[in-house]
């Protein structure tokens, strides 16, 4: 069945391996008949500063952030490509999440659950996060306990109701061996065809 898929290249720089994987996914998904929207963080302009606290005096979303939220709300599947830098997001990626996933749009603080967490407002969507890193996958799991994935799944996508969130780990990405990028692209192409 065709899906409404929002492909977001969450790398702050253009023309990267992340952009290549986003384009690979888009081409495969489009060829299979999925309905697509696409956005690249490197092309977005917005103030990264959240502003005042407690969600009371927040800034209006700039057009690029509003477009991001509209695409996310429209979709039933989110695909994000991003690098892991220093164990987490690039600063601009984190700023986008801080500014766009706001109370009243992504979660409802007026309707907490039994332990006090706000109600998610983006339920009914799934996600695929394609991570590039210099840290080998096995080391990320054994040494760090998949901390980055747990952060994304538990405190971002899961917090706003996007479940399940699945991960594709491409590493080591800094100096991949000959033929490895092509193998990664083939894997991402398969995901795009299936809308996964």
Confidence (pLDDT) at 196: 96
State what percent of residues in the chain have pLDDT above 70. Answer: 97
Could you tell me which residue, 188 or 112, shows the higher pLDDT? Answer: 188
pLDDT band with cut points at 50, 70 and 90 for residue 52: low
- Contacts of 192-195 with CB under 8 Å at 24 or more apart are 192/24, 192/25, 192/26, 192/27, 192/28, 192/29, 192/32, 192/34, 193/28, 193/29, 193/31, 193/32, 194/32, 195/2, 195/3, 195/5, 195/29, 195/32, 195/34, 195/77
Interval 60-76 mean pLDDT:
97
Summarize pLDDT for 98-129 with one digit per residue, the tens: 999 998 899 998 888 888 889 999 999 999 99
* 63 pLDDT above the threshold of 70: yes
| Average confidence score pLDDT of the chain | 93
Say what the alpha-carbon torsion angle 41, 46, 51, 55 is, to the nearest 10 degrees.
-70
Do the beta carbons of residue 129 and residue 168 sit within 8 Å?
yes
Summarize pLDDT for 70-103 with one digit per residue, the tens: 999 999 999 999 999 999 999 999 999 999 999 8
User: Which residues have CB under 8 Å from 44's CB, separation 6+?
Assistant: 64, 65, 68, 96
Say what the alpha-carbon torsion angle 46, 173, 141, 130 is, to the nearest 10 degrees.
50
Token pair for 177? 């061996």
Q: Which residue, 111, 91, 108, 116, is CA-closest to 160?
A: 108
* 62 pLDDT above the threshold of 70: yes
Confidence (pLDDT) at 124: 96
What is the C-alpha radius of gyration for the chain, rounded to an integer number of angstroms?
A: 17
Interval 170-182 mean pLDDT:
93
Q: Which residue, 120, 130, 188, is CA-closest to 8?
A: 130
Confidence (pLDDT) at 59: 83
């Amino acid at each position: 069945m065709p899906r409404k898929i929002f492909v977001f290249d969450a790398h702050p720089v253009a023309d990267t391996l992340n952009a290549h994987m986003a384009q690979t996914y888009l081409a495969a998904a489009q060829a299979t008949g999925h309905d697509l929207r696409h956005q690249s963080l490197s092309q977005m302009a917005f103030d990264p500063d959240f502003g005042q606290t407690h969600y009371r005096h927040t800034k209006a979303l700039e057009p690029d952030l509003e477009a991001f939220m509209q695409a996310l709300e429209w979709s039933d599947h989110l695909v994000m490509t991003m690098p892991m830098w220093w164990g987490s997001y690039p600063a601009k990626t984190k700023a986008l999440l801080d500014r766009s996933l706001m109370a009243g749009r992504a979660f409802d603080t007026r309707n907490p659950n039994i332990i006090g967490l706000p109600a998610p407002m983006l339920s009914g969507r799934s996600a695929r996060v394609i991570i590039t890193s210099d840290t080998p996958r096995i080391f990320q799991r054994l040494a760090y306990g998949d901390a980055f994935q747990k952060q994304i799944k538990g405190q971002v996508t899961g917090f706003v109701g996007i479940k399940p969130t699945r991960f594709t780990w491409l590493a080591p990405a800094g100096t991949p061996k000959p033929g490895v990028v092509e193998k990664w692209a083939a894997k991402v192409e398969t995901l795009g065809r299936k809308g996964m």
